[in-house]
Structure 1
Amino acid sequence: MFEEQATKVKITSVVILVGMSSMLAAVVTDHWAVLSPRVEKLNATCEAAHFGLWRLCKKSIFIVEEDPQGKGCGPISLPGAKNCSYFKHFTSGEEAEVFEVKTQKEYNISAAAIAIFSLFFMILGTLCVIFSFGKGRDYLLRPAGMFFAFAGLCIIISVEVMRQSVKRMIDSDETIWIEYHYSWSFTCACASFTLLILSGVALLLISMPHMPRNPWETCMDAEPDTLD
């Protein structure tokens, strides 16, 4: 790998690390969306919720003043009793009614599975970048770029599945939730998508063969013909 090429790869690797950190933060945390029911009166307890790919947390909040932006319960940062439960994604047997809607489990299984694929592509891309610094192994930058691009695509698909999940929650007549907003885990997932896609494209461009500055370079670099 040329020195100039190695410098570009190192700079891109910093961006990749930020994207990977954002993705890991999004995958392991449970603040993708915050849901709240309608608040009918003050000095009452309402139950808000926040969730991620693996866990749902419900929080009982005592309302002492009206929400100026609406009639929702919250904000979720208010003190209250908290109860968290993990989704039974990959277990067989009795169906658990996640979010009080049976079909909601299917959305979270899909989003979690796609996120796992994203982590798998991210690991492969990281290995390719590490091994590309070996002598004569710069060709590994191309698959690395593709792996990181695939990781970014997977995480944005997972984001869209979660968006549809939230929409179904709000539209369902079987739930108490009427309001929602996306939280910082959702922002981390979107940021990781942007950074990983840009990093993947950058690695593909860096790995492209050197183009001659003028037509004479190709002729001058060619080996002279030998006469028998």
Structure 2
Amino acid sequence: MNKRTKVKITFFVLLVGMASMFTAVVTDHWAVLSPQVTQMNTTCEAAHFGLWRLCKKAIYISAVNYNGKGCGPISLPGVENCTYFKHFTPGEEAEIFEVKTQKEYNISAAAIAIFSLAFMIFGTLCLLCSFKKGNDYVLKPAGMFFAFAGLCAIVSVEVMRQSVKRMIESEETEWIDYSYGWSFACACAGFCFLFLSGLTLLILSMPRMPQNPWESCMDAEPEPEQ
């Protein structure tokens, strides 16, 4: 398998990683939160959120569908109301989490995710340029951009994880149970595909190692005659 074929295969893997990361950024199923359920046959309010907005869902809980942990599961039918976070929509009076540090965590996770998207765009441009004959040198910056995109993705995931942890541990919120959703899984998958593919491109951009010592000797420039 030649070098160009390996680059094309890596590019298809990168497409999967970029699609996963983009899906994670634009969707709001990073985490699912539920309050304590004190009685059956009543309505409780669970929530799921992403980088940009929070969705609250009124779910009717009966003894049949109660899971013993909290309000939910979120897949149960109910009336859902989604609002963008207040710090992203100035002037909007929508309620958000009552934790003071939530704003900083959410803005940080969103900003880092945007950096990841920007690195993906730069990496894609460099990779497309490398397909042109004689532009193999562009593989190295492409690999670096995709590796940085993967690192930004995992940092955004960790910031979001710490955010959820603080909300659950805080006495100022009603949430007692949480789980991570499919958007969170997409971000983790995006990190794996982007980072590993970026490293692959960096390896492919390196000069080919000699197969044996004689090969390097044959490639050496002849010594000048005296």
> Over aligned residues, Cα RMSD in angstroms?
2.0
Give, in whole Å, the separation in 2 of the partners of 1:113 and 1:41.
40
What secondary structure sits across from 2:10 in the alignment? helix
8 A Cα contact 2:34 2:71, kept in partner: yes
3-state SS, counterpart of residue 2 of structure 2: helix
State the match for 2:178 in structure 1. Answer: 180
> C-alpha separation between the residues in 1 aligned to 2:51 and 2:186?
13
Whether 1:18 aligns to 2:21 is no
Give me the whole-angstrom Cα distance separating, in 2, the residues matched to 1:94 and 1:185. 25
Q: TM-score normalised to the size of structure 1?
A: 0.92
Residue ranges of structure 2 left out of the alignment (5+ in a row): none
Q: For the Cα contact (< 8 Å) 2:86–2:92, is it kept in 1?
A: no
Aligned to 1:160: 158
> Which range moves more in the overlay, 188-197 or 84-93?
84-93
Cα offset, 1:92, TM superposition: 5.6
Which TM-score applies when normalising by structure 2? 0.93
Distance 1:4 1:153, change over 3 A: same
Aligned to 1:89: 87
Q: Give the drift of 1:97.
A: 5.5
- CA positional deviation for 1:224: 4.5
Aligned residue among 123, 128, 131 for 1:130: 128
Deviation of 1:134 after TM superposition, in Å, equals 1.4
SS of the residue corresponding to residue 89 of structure 1 reads: helix
Structure 1 Cα separation of the partners of residues 53 and 89 of structure 2: 15
Q: Is the 8 A contact 2:52 2:88 kept in 1?
A: no
In the superposition, relative to structure 1, how do residues 61 and 74 fare at CA in structure 2: closer, same or farther (>3 Å)?
same
Distance change >3 Å, CA 195–CA 177, structure 1 → 2: same
Look up the match of 1:28.
26
Q: Distance in 2 between matches of 1:180 and 1:42?
A: 20
Taking a change above 3 Å as real, the CA distance of residues 5 and 89 of structure 1, as seen in their structure-2 partners, is: farther
AA paired with 2:115? F
Cα offset, 1:100, TM superposition: 2.2
CA contact (8 A) 1:26 1:185 kept: yes
CA 1:153–1:95 in 2, change beyond 3 Å: closer, same or farther?
farther
What percentage of residue pairs aligned between the two structures are identical? 73
CA gap 1:85/1:163 in 2 versus in 1, 3 angstroms: same
Q: Distance in 2 between matches of 1:133 and 1:86?
A: 41
- How far apart are the structure 2 equivalents of 1:224 and 1:101? 72
Corresponding position: 1:104 with 2:64:
no
Distance in structure 2 (CA, Å) of the matches to 1:9 and 1:77: 41
1:5 to 3, 6, 10: 3
AA partner of residue 118 (structure 2): F
Larger CA deviation: 79-88 vs 108-117: 79-88
Q: Is the 8 A contact 1:42 1:66 kept in 2?
A: no
Partners of 1:214 and 1:170 in 2: CA distance: 59
| Alpha-carbon offset, residue 103 of structure 1 | 2.3
Residue of structure 2 equivalent to 1:170: 168
Alignment match, 2:68: 70
| Equivalence for 1:80 | 78
Q: Which runs of 5+ in 1 are unaligned?
A: none
What's the CA shift for 1:212?
Answer: 1.1
How far apart are 1:64 and its partner, in Å?
1.4
Q: Secondary structure at the match of 1:216?
A: helix
Q: Residues of 1 paired with 2:198 and 2:89: CA distance?
A: 35
Distance 1:226 1:50 in 2: 73
